[in-house]
Amino acid sequence: MFFDMPDCGGCRTCELACGFKHTGAFSYATSSIRVLDKEDQRGHTVLLLEQNEETHFACDGCPEFDVPLCVQHCREAEKLTKMVQEFLRTVKPVPET
């Protein structure tokens, strides 16, 4: 699922944190999140993976943490939090209790 993030600086720290969550190593190659450059526009597009792709893992929202690791290390944490929450609501619905 793609999200527009006009204030993202493109540091990709969120990608490294996510890769670390999955494998214990700082790696873009295993991340569930991808920060994509926008042509001729400010900011970046953020992709949260809905399913596993080769070495990349699907985003699960880091249920073992109070705050997903990508959000913990993002300077636009409030916006990324909203994106992850929307992703989990629409793509990975939480079962009702």
pLDDT for 97 beyond 60: no
Sorting pLDDT into bands at 50, 70 and 90, what band is 94? low
Q: How far apart are CA 57 and CA 48, in angstroms?
A: 10
**For residues 16-22, average pLDDT:** 95
């597009």: which residue's tokens?
45
pLDDT at 42: 82
**pTM to 2 decimals?**
0.86
% of the chain at pLDDT higher than 70: 94
pLDDT for 92 beyond 80: no
